[in-house]
Structure 1
Amino acid sequence: MKPEKNFTISRNKRGASIADALEAVSKIREGIPSAFVFEHGSLQVKMYQPSKQDAQKPHTRDEIYLIARGSGWFVNGAERHAFQIGDLLFVPAGVTHRFEEFSGDFCTWVMFYGPEGGEAA
């Protein structure tokens, strides 16, 4: 999988620091709250930092969020629960999800992996 054109690829082939990832987010065009920071095989890693509202749509691949900063509420399908720094959240491909009532410093690593349609359970 190739990253979307509006993403910034990390120069570091072994990973990315949170500082580098947040800098990448700040450099992309307004209205795009995420930046691509790492790729290996089917794995794509982004830093996501929405402002005020999370307007994302369901994705075609399974994804994991690892909360880097902040806290708030996460809607995952029919469930809604609190999240904070260090929490790991899984979203199967195609499931509606969003962050709500999050703090101003909120940002999260996002990892997409596996085939289109998600992996079999």
Structure 2
Amino acid sequence: MKITLQEAISQLTPEQRFAQVMQHGTMSVELYVPDKVDPQQPHAQDELYVIVSGTGQFRNGGEVYPFGPGDVLFVPAGREHRFFDFSDDFQTWVIFYGPEGGEKPQL
């Protein structure tokens, strides 16, 4: 399986700012390009964001981090999170994986 960034971008519309571009088992990959506001809600699976372009701030639970191209952000299933104050060129890959409710950390 392979997809280019340009192929993923071609699947976006003004109304649909994310596109699922790959799936295998519990894993799915999306391209997410919010327009000025990030309206997403907590998700049932663990997720990784791999920032393609742009900069901004990311709220992950009670913590806030700056982000930029090449950064990888982890969010456990069910946690409130949001991108804000992001630049107009912000794009990120989103990788969902694992069981609903998230994977249990190893002790």
TM-score (norm 1): 0.84
**1:65 counterpart SS class:** strand
Structure 1: 5+ residue runs without aligned partners?
A: 1-13
C-alpha RMSD of the superposition: 0.9
Residues in 1 aligned to 2:12 and 2:60: alpha-carbon distance in whole angstroms: 24
Question: Is 1:18–2:5 an aligned residue pair?
Answer: yes
Q: TM-score, normalised by structure 2?
A: 0.95
The percentage of aligned residue pairs carrying the same residue is 49
Other structure's SS at 1:25 match:
coil
Task: Write out the 4+ residue segments of structure 1 that deviate beyond 2 Å after TM superposition.
Answer: none
The aligned residue for residue 51 of structure 1 is: 35
Provide the rounded CA distance (Å) in 1 between the counterparts of 2:2 and 2:50. Answer: 15
What is the CA–CA distance in structure 2 between the aligned matches of 1:62 and 1:97, rounded to whole Å? Answer: 12
Q: Which structure is higher in RCO with an 8 Å CA cutoff and minimum separation 6?
A: 2
Aligned residues: 105
Identify the structure with the greater strand proportion.
2
